[in-house]
Amino acid sequence: MLFFYLLVSVFATTLAMSVQWHGKADIVIKNITDLHTSSNKIDYLKEVLLNQELAQKVQLVQNVVQVMNDVQTLKKEVDRLKTENLDLRMEVGNLSSKVVKENCTQDPQYTDKRTPIGFYAYFSKKKFKSPRAGQPLIFDSVETNFGNGYDNTTGIFTAPTSGLYVFT
C-alpha cells in the first residue's frame, strides 16, 4: 500500500508541476510571440530607415551632378568671355593704331611727318606674374609699337624723340 501511496504522490506532484509549467509555457510562448512581433517591427523600421538613407544619398548624388554640370557651364562661359576679351583688346589696339596713323599722317595741321611714337601692350590671360618693386613690366602681348620705343624683351620704353608721353 505504501507503494501505491508513493505512486499517487509522485503522480500528483508531476501533475501539479505540469499544470504549473503549462501556465509558464503559455507565458514563454506569449513572450516568444511578442519578441517575434517586436523583431518584425524592428526589421520594418530598419528597412524604412535604410530606404530613407538611400533616398537621401540619391538626392545628394543628383545635387552633386547638377553642381558639376553648372561648374562646367560656367567654365565654358568664362573661357568664351576670356576669348572675347582678348579679341576686343586686339581690336582696340588695331583701331588705336589706325587712328594714330591717320591723325598723324593725314592731318593737314600736323607738320611733323615722322613716324608716330606709341605702343599698346598687355598681359595675356595666362602669363601675368606680379613683378617685384622696381622691376619693369614685361608685357607678353604687344599689339602696336610705333617707333619701336617699347622693347618687349626688357619691358623698357625708350622715347626716341622728346615729347609728352602718357602711360595708362
Q: What is the pLDDT of residue 3?
A: 59
- Assess whether 34 and 82 both reside in one domain: yes
Give the chain's length. 168
Say whether both 15 and 81 belong to one domain.
yes
Q: Is residue 3 part of a domain?
A: no
Domain enclosing residue 101, as ranges: 11-113
Give the DSSP H/E element, type plus range, for residue 122.
strand 118-122
Residue 1 forms part of a structural domain: no
pTM greater than 0.75 (yes/no): no
Terminal-residue alpha carbon distance, the chain: 134
* pLDDT tens digits for range 142-165: 888 888 888 988 988 888 877 777
Q: pLDDT per residue over 86-120, tens digit each?
A: 788 778 777 776 776 666 555 555 555 566 788 88
129 lies in the same domain as 109: no
Q: How many domains does the chain have?
A: 2
